[in-house]
Amino acid sequence: MPAAVVDARLFSLAMLTLVACSSSSSPTMMTRAQLLDPQACQGCHPDQYSQWSGSMHAYSSKDPVFRAMNQRGQRETSGQLGPFCVKCHAPMAVHEGATTDGLNLDQLPEQLHGVTCFFCHSVASVDGVHNNPLTLASDNVLRGSFADPLVAGRSHLADYSALIDRQTAASASMCGACHDIQAPPGGNIERTFQEWQATAFPAVLGNTCAQCHMPQSTELVAVAKVPNAPLRRAHDHSSPGVDVALTDFPNKPEQLNLVQASLNPTLQTAICVERFAGGSKVSLIVDNAAAGHSFPSGSAQDRRAWFELTAYVASNVVYSSGAVPAGTPVVSSPDPDLWLLRDCMFDGTGAQVDMFWQAASYEGNALPAIVTFDISSPDFYLGHKQRYFPPSGSPITTPDRITLKVHVTPIGLDVLDDLIASGDLDAGLRGLMPTFDVGDTLEWTPDAGTHTYVDRDTGGLVFCATTTSLNVQADKFPAPVKTHCSP
């Protein structure tokens, strides 16, 4: 073999070893300051970074409604709220001592805004069930669900933690620690975690928050974009719910689409009609089929969800409820039949209050989640809510077509108006608050009313239209009739 060839072979072999060496030796370890900064994760975890960047977790301390409410709360309590709000909305800023009340959020460095990567991935223990009782580790180890994270190419320490593993109930206690609020006067005004615990999801299916809210990739992918990364399932970090960014923010169109897609299958509905000689009795049956907690949940004191039902004879409207002109707060509707889902809050004397730091108690009428998957259990259909229109059950002129739309506004226009009137919120933001339709418009006609059941009181046959698998023959429970807070 000519010497030159041997040399070339040796040379290329040496080159290969060199390249392999430099890619398999770990890059320089990140400093704590770098670990705190989500942007420092972008290079190796671009997908998680980009999804998180457009999430409400990233927006939580930029959210102008949050800032307005916190500012007002601090003023009205003469600062007694202290870090209460920012402890969940900008937890790293509080942890680092960069804010004590959230009134200086404009001055905070970018990396301390929102619920950050470092915050979730450093949780060492969950020491309670509400108001963010999470303790962070100080060992700079980023926790995740991999017991064997690739060492080469990794610029940080890493380890397994059940608190970040969506297959374990412990992970729900991590999410739940923030998704459950007890206001200073004692009102348990946000209860998503508590609600979830009472459903059939944790016990039977083991469904945690992240199993529904951080869907798993169908493809195996490299979750770190480094050479020789193992292929794994990635988990979506966009966490869509109902709320959306109002101001300029990354991925806004995607966020709207994700929220819409997540809302669409949430409820199952049926429009039912029972005919009499003089008219027809009309009702809705509604089931919270997909949420692992009540619907609405979380900020249900500020959320407004309602049902718009319109009955026609030809093109004439013979009955309608819940038709609210765009831009009008639904709570100001004079409609006595309105079916509005929202929480009401009261202070220690039982008087209604509008801002949640004042709440000593609450009353809710949300649609409950499934409490058992056992079809033979009497509780199986507890979530099947039925409501008549009008609520008295009096017959209306027999319609030949009925439509149903379900609307939800993430933060009610009445709440925004209240914050605008107190000088805390820019009036220009009001017009940017979306109202979503939950699913498509459902239509009943005599032809579409093919699902039937026998009315227990009248013995008459009821004809229902539904586009879902809702079982109209099963037990039905009356939905609350009263939907406004004041008597």
Residues 291-330 within binding reach of ligand HEC (CB under 6 A): 291-293, 295-299, 302-303
Query: Within 400-439, which residues bind ligand HEC (CB under 6 A)?
Result: 410-411
CB nearer ligand HEC, residue 255 or residue 310: 255
CB nearer ligand HEC, residue 302 or residue 418: 302
Q: For residue 188, which of 242, 134, 129 has the smallest C-alpha distance?
A: 129
**Please, what sign has the CA dihedral across residues 388, 392, 394, 398?**
negative
Distance, CA of 259 to CA of 375 (rounded, Å): 30
Residue 113 contacts ligand HEC per CB under 6 A:
no
Contact segment (CB under 6 A) with ligand HEC among 239-247, 335-343, 373-381, 386-394 equals 239-247
CB nearer ligand HEC, residue 103 or residue 396: 103
- Write the binding mask 157 to 176 for ligand HEC: x where contact by CB under 6 A, - elsewhere: -xxx---xxx----xx-xxx
* 390 preceded by a cis bond (ω within 30 of 0): yes
Q: For residue 306, which of 293, 320, 292 has the smallest C-alpha distance?
A: 320
Residue 362 contacts ligand HEC per CB under 6 A:
no
Distance in Å, CB of 60 to ligand HEC, minimum:
4
Residue from the set 94, 105, 126, 150 that interacts with ligand HEC by CB under 6 A: 150
Residue 365 contacts ligand HEC per CB under 6 A:
no
Contact segment (CB under 6 A) with ligand HEC among 9-17, 57-65, 246-254, 456-464 equals 57-65
- CB of 402 closer than 8 Å to CB of 274: no
Residue 262 contacts ligand HEC per CB under 6 A:
yes
Distance in Å, CB of 288 to ligand HEC, minimum:
8
Give Cα separations from 1 to 4, 14, 395 (angstroms): 8, 19, 101
Q: For residue 233, which of 166, 291, 174 has the smallest C-alpha distance?
A: 166
Name the phi and psi angles at 324, rounded to 5.
Answer: -120, 125
Name, in order, each residue with C-beta under 8 angstroms of 481's C-beta and a sequence gap of 6 or more.
387, 391
Residue 94 contacts ligand HEC per CB under 6 A:
no
Distance in Å, CB of 48 to ligand HEC, minimum:
4
Distance in Å, CB of 55 to ligand HEC, minimum:
7
Tell me the number of residues near ligand HEC by CB under 6 A: 104
CB nearer ligand HEC, residue 105 or residue 272: 105
Distance, CA of 91 to CA of 174 (rounded, Å): 14
- CB of 180 closer than 8 Å to CB of 204: no
Residue 287 contacts ligand HEC per CB under 6 A:
no
Distance, CA of 156 to CA of 300 (rounded, Å): 39
Residue with tokens 């050479």: 227
Residue from the set 307, 319, 339, 357 that interacts with ligand HEC by CB under 6 A: 357
Query: Within 13-32, which residues bind ligand HEC (CB under 6 A)?
Result: 27
Q: For residue 332, which of 237, 409, 404 has the smallest C-alpha distance?
A: 409
Name, in order, each residue with C-beta under 8 angstroms of 332's C-beta and a sequence gap of 6 or more.
414
Residue 251 contacts ligand HEC per CB under 6 A:
no
Number of C-beta neighbours around residue 69 at 10 A:
25
CB nearer ligand HEC, residue 284 or residue 370: 370
Residue from the set 117, 126, 425, 472 that interacts with ligand HEC by CB under 6 A: 117
Residue from the set 235, 304, 342, 385 that interacts with ligand HEC by CB under 6 A: 235
Number of C-beta neighbours around residue 35 at 10 A:
23
Residue 52 contacts ligand HEC per CB under 6 A:
yes
- CB of 379 closer than 8 Å to CB of 371: yes
